[in-house]
Structure 1
């Protein structure tokens, strides 16, 4: 299902955070939101999943304005894996994944056989079924992210929204999680800190700076040396990763490159 934002603007305590942001994420694609700290990535995601209401503009999933439909309906349209989610650490893994079924249940309705089957499938799909009776607090960071992703899958929504999904994970867990997300086939929008992940795993990226869209489109067309110099203040080159064959970014501080060029001359 397609996701679109049109002219989204947000100010918090009088400070503009987003200024007329427009984007489109094609059905089934993976779109990365990238930009420096404070560029508006997380705020834009929160507009998409109904935490921060835009002062201007609209956010659509399919033909549905997410701020005009009931909360339960919105829960059937998109699932969320947010940063630093606070959960009762006494919950078991299965308890947490089962929370994804809440939008499908009436008030005080008990878990059905269908709910249990969906939870089983979600646990298996992310490879965490072995831990379903474990307490959430006993898991590693990578395992916790898999549990939260399984909860999102159990929700059965066509759109997945992720805020820095690889934050605090070691490199192995990062790559495993990104491979898993890439293979889900859902319309996915993720705020990403690592630009190399964005160019390697995303179908499209949206580059933000000071709450505005600098560029949007295919990663290679957006993550150009000029854009990276203008927005991040670094020198960069796009190469091919020697192990995966995917596009790969190589960075250097602009000052270091200038010094090397002076020495070479």
Structure 2
């Protein structure tokens, strides 16, 4: 059985075809899902998914969804609403996120850092792990978290860096989210990094409907492709498939322990 530790099942691709996807998930033994939010517009939808026992959820503001809040001059108000909603629903949450930093977007890094640090403090207050989006910003993620010492700090999802970057994140106590990137032969540095990481830091994800996997790029990504990502992981690692599967399930459950 499988745990997709990062998938956006509230997005339209799934919401409009829920029964068909439900069957696909069952057919491929995808038993549990973590669904992060991306901003105020989907906080309520994500919380609604928590009613299903196989779904765990997080609240946050994704860096790529900051710009509309800046344009409307409501970023601080939205962060305050996030704080209030998270406190109100803390028994339903398994993490704070998706949050983090992204070099590609046209949002000043100072603004991204401010929003990220707000969410770090919220996670500390609620003693929840962070689900972190990091694109070409691993150094700033590390700097933002290097003074944090509690267990289960969180996960850097959809990791696509090299071994040195991964090791610096692991040293903070973070887990590494492994997804479709490792199915692409061109991602050699990331594949080499994942091959060398300690097994106890690895969790699997699809980031569905994004982060396509090789051979299926014409389709929306979906949790039912998770076994294909696992099959690539088996090729990269020295452990047997059964040991990998058991340990990754354990890592995932421990990451989202409530």
Considering fraction of residues, name the structure with more helix: 2
TM bucket (normalised to shorter chain) is 0.3 to 0.5
Task: Return the TM-score normalized by structure 2.
Answer: 0.38
Highest Rg: 1 or 2?
1
Task: Return the TM-score normalized by structure 1.
Answer: 0.37
Considering fraction of residues, name the structure with more strand: 1
By relative contact order (CA 8 Å, sep 6+), the higher-ranking structure is 1
